[in-house]
Amino acid sequence: MRIGILGAGGMADALGTQWARAGHTVMISGRDPGRSTAQAGEMRAQAVRTPAGQADVRAGTWAEAACFGEVVMVAVREAGLVDVLRAAGASMRGKPVIDVTNAAAPDRYDPTRPIARLISDLTGGHVVKAFNLCHVDVWRMTPPVFGGRPLAVPLCGDDPAAMDAARTLVADLGCKPLNGGGLDRATQLEATAAFVIGLWFGGADAQAILPPLDSSGAHGQG
């Protein structure tokens, strides 16, 4: 599929390179056309799939990437989010929009101002919150597997077609898509990210805070 990415930073690079390697066509975008074009070149080089197979990664403006994508990923810093979405224009309306955005810092997250809902309101796109729980280096792994288990990626969104597209993109990384509920639940996903990132920054092993399913108390629950 054609994937437009608002962003040319770490997350755009990590996920966009994986998806280009999987055969998708990717357009990234940033504030500086020269830098985005150079970044797209690096991604093409990283994503080469076979000696004969060229990966397709391009660079464009915010509006070009939004228009280009059958699916659009929002991967910009929160500080620039509103300006970037305004510059991207109206072409995300009705499209699947993957939102990876987190608050600028764990203690800056405001659950009364959910980011995914803001993106939905500003774009009219079918937003799916995803990929926001793990560090960018995790998304560079081929594949992200820990202790023999593929990483599970929770997805929160309302639109079935957008959720399907997100599931495909998760599977393309070698990860396991996990239904996290509707877009209302994206607020919880954003808060979860703020909480666990706070633990990790404090040096704690956040993965250790949860028991396995068979000790979760959920047995026999419908």
Binding site for ligand NAP (CB under 6 A): 7-12, 30-32, 75-80, 84, 100-102, 132, 135-136
Task: Write down the least CB distance from residue 75 to ligand NAP, Å.
Answer: 5
Nearest CB to ligand NAP, comparing residues 94 and 111: 111
Nearest CB to ligand NAP, comparing residues 152 and 161: 152
DSSP states of 208-219: GGS--GGGTT-T
DSSP states of the chain: -EEEEEB-SHHHHHHHHHHHHTT-EEEEE-S-HHHHHHHHHHHHHHH--SSS---EEEEE-HHHHHHH-SEEEE---GGGHHHHHHHHTTTTTTSEEEE----SSGGG--TTS-HHHHHHHHH--EEEE-S-SS-TTGGGSSS-EETTEEPEEEEEES-HHHHHHHHHHHHHTT-EEEE--SGGGHHHHHHHHHHHHHHHHTT--GGGGS--GGGTT-TT--
Task: Write down the least CB distance from residue 107 to ligand NAP, Å.
Answer: 14
* Cα–Cα distance measured from residue 95 to residue 92, given in angstroms and rounded to the nearest whole number: 5
Task: Write down the least CB distance from residue 105 to ligand NAP, Å.
Answer: 9
Task: Write down the least CB distance from residue 130 to ligand NAP, Å.
Answer: 10
Nearest CB to ligand NAP, comparing residues 17 and 101: 101
- The structure tokens 């939905």 sit at 120
Task: Write down the least CB distance from residue 194 to ligand NAP, Å.
Answer: 10
Nearest CB to ligand NAP, comparing residues 117 and 222: 117
Nearest CB to ligand NAP, comparing residues 31 and 176: 31
Nearest CB to ligand NAP, comparing residues 139 and 163: 139
Task: Write down the least CB distance from residue 216 to ligand NAP, Å.
Answer: 25
* Cα–Cα distance measured from residue 153 to residue 192, given in angstroms and rounded to the nearest whole number: 13
